[in-house]
Amino acid sequence: MLFRKPAPTSDLDLDHLPRHVAIIMDGNGRWAKRRHVPRGAGHAAGAETLRRIATCARDLGIPYLTLYAFSTENWKRPEEEVAGIMDLLERYLRETLRDMEKNRFHMAFLGDLTPLSPELRALCAQVEETSRVYTSYQMNICFNYGGRDEIVRAARSFAADCLAGKRDPASLTEADFSGYLYTAGIPDPDLIIRPSGEQRLSNFLLWQAAYAEFYTTDIYWPDFKEQDFLDAIRAFQRRSRRFGGT
């Protein structure tokens, strides 16, 4: 029988967990290359990691988890790879619907879903709507998401509200502007994790990342385990956050 030891959390300060953790799920392709399997197998393995880490975050009591799944730049990839990712998303959404009562999390989508097929969009909307009842844990999937695109869209909506006489440009505050982003109502991430060794944001949560702690590890996302997630939280708890103060 397979037996997996629960990850020890005794050295974690459960009273000082990050409220919002965001992850750039990177390294699927290199993981696949190393194993001499197609890149799509790497994405499938990455989806498995997503399920496990989402459960781990929920069980720890972290209220918000945001996952970067597909960027506005990822359309540059071969058609076959993009199609494979769309298929994986569909499979993941169907499973989410099936397991909703067991998982008990609200799933939301950040990004522009309009280029997706009507079936996939309907499925996203169904998952988002039916999971709305679970309010203690929210998982955000960033799909066709780009930080610059998000800011430009927010600027457009704000400008439209000004033209409609609903807003006054001179009185715009940072908090008001945040309300025009995909993340309206969601606290900024406290911790951003990027596996696979890259040390860049790749257009992820540009506005929201202002004071996030950044954690990187060389582990490829498909190999990223609960223990690695806890290591990131431990590292976060050792950081001193000053927000520009002393």
Nearer to Mg ion, 26 or 213 (CB): 26
Q: Give the other-Cβ count within 10 Å of 1's Cβ.
A: 2
Instruction: Give me the DSSP letters along 226-244.
Output: HHHHHHHHHHHHH----TT
23 binds ligand IPE (CB under 6 A): no
75 Cβ contact partners less than 8 Å away, ≥ 6 residues apart? 82, 115, 144
- Which residues are bridge partners to 109 per DSSP? 141
- In angstroms, the first-to-last Cα distance of the chain is 53
Question: What b/e readout covers 197-215, taking b as 16+ CB neighbours within 10 angstroms?
Answer: eeeebebbbebbbeebbbb
Of 39 and 106, the one with the shorter C-beta distance to ligand IPE is: 39
Interacting residues with ligand IPE between 25 and 84 (CB under 6 A): 25-30, 68-71, 74
Binds 124: which of ligand IPE, Mg ion, none (CB < 5-8 Å by kind): none
Q: Rule CB under 5 A: is residue 25 a binding residue for Mg ion?
A: no
108 binds, among ligand IPE, Mg ion, none (CB under 5 to 8 A by kind): none
- Of 17, 22, 24, 26, the one binding Mg ion by CB under 5 A: 26
> What is the contact surface with ligand IPE in residues (CB under 6 A)?
24-30, 68-71, 74, 85, 196, 198, 200, 202
> What is the contact surface with Mg ion in residues (CB under 5 A)?
26
